[in-house]
Amino acid sequence: MEFKQVIETRRSIRAFTDRDVSDEQVLQLLEWAHAAPSGGNLRPWEYIVVRSQAQKEAIAAATFCGNDDRAPATQKWLAAAPVVVVAVGLPAKIEARYGKTCIPAQALLYQDCGAMIENFLLGAVALGLGSCYIAGFREKELSQTLGLPEEVIPVAILPLGHPAQPGVERPRSPVGSILHHETY
Ligand SMILES: Cc1cc2nc3c(=O)[nH]c(=O)nc-3n(C[C@H](O)[C@H](O)[C@H](O)COP(=O)(O)O)c2cc1C
């Protein structure tokens, strides 16, 4: 698939068919994600690949809808994906290089992980798959579900599968309306 087509057809996919995703496809996506640029080349991330239905449902139970983390509704649709990848971050890697004060480790961590996750999302399109960046989760609860050590934090849940239907095109403001030249 052409790069232009990958960029222009990527959508958040929230419904999947029953068709499986192979381990090779998952590994390919993680290779592409791991190839992303990263401050100081630290790559402060790791991945957890989940296929068990019970674990996918436990992950979904740690999510919420909207921006209220106490909202009772969860994003249970994600448990229907054949594979769920959870990207986790290791701020200690950043602190070990840059210290605790100079650059806020968490800020750099999320910038790094954003670049890495975009590679994953675009790679999914290139493989004919769909995914969605999910950050609406209760961090402590998800960490417990995944058995994360204290120094590892969950960054994104990435359900992965074959889209059940094409994603909906969300509106964007024209680039011209957010473009400045020389100064703001
Ligand atoms: C940091 C971040 C967090 C997001 N969290 C969620 C989420 O918790 N649940 C969800 O369904 N979509 C989530 N999204 C997806 C956005 O809703 C989606 O990207 C946006 O509506 C634009 O649609 P598109 O991805 O189809 O272009 C998230 C996206 C980003 C970048």
Tokens of 132: 């969605």
pLDDT per residue as tens, the chain (184 positions): 899 999 999 999 999 999 999 999 999 999 999 999 999 999 999 999 999 999 999 999 999 999 999 989 999 999 999 999 999 999 999 999 998 777 788 899 999 999 999 999 999 999 999 999 999 999 999 999 999 999 999 999 999 999 999 999 999 999 999 999 999 9
**98 Cα–ligand 1 center, Å:** 30
pTM score of the predicted model = 0.97
Q: Which residue has the tokens 């769920």?
A: 84
Q: What separation, in Å, do the N-terminal and C-terminal C-alpha atoms of the chain show?
A: 37
Q: Say if residues 112 and 103 touch (Cβ distance below 8 Å).
A: no
Q: Which of 68, 76, 134, 157 to mutate to test ligand 1, by most ligand atoms within 8 A of the CB atom?
A: 134
- Sheet holding 45-50: strands in order across? 45-50, 83-89, 153-161, 130-131
Helix axes 139-146, 53-61, angle to 10 degrees: 160
Which atom number of ligand 1 is nearest to the Cα of residue 167? 26
Distance CA 131, CA 123 (A): 10
Question: Ligand 1: does its nearest atom lie under 6 Å from the Cβ of 12?
Answer: yes
Half-sphere exposure of 19 (CA within 13 A, CB side): 11
Q: Which residue has the tokens 């011209």?
A: 176
Where b means 16+ CB within 10 Å and e means fewer, 27-36 reads: eebbebbeeb
Name the closest-CA residue to atom 3, ligand 1: 135
